Amino acid sequence: MRNIRREANDQFKKQQKEGKISEDEMFRLQEKVQKLTDKYTKEIDQLVSNKEKEIMTV
């Protein structure tokens, strides 16, 4: 998941250097990707925790 975030951020930087998006837009996109990464990391951690509890109760 972190690799995907890094690739997206690299793509944003490339587009900004090429003049396709502004620096402000690049930062907004990076922030949006970070929030999504945090959200799904939290969901994955919760699923893992629930599965661990399930396995331990058997």
* Residues 28 and 11 sit within 8 Å (Cβ to Cβ): no
Q: Report pLDDT for 58.
A: 67
Residue 58 · residue 23 · CB < 8 Å: no
Does 34 have pLDDT greater than 90?
yes
The pLDDT score that the predictor gives to residue 6 is 95
| 21 DSSP assignment | S
| Model pLDDT for residues 8-19, shown as the tens digit of each residue | 999 999 999 999
When pLDDT is cut at 50, 70 and 90, the band that residue 1 belongs to is confident
Q: Could you read off the pLDDT of 35-54 as tens digits, one per residue?
A: 999 999 999 999 999 999 99
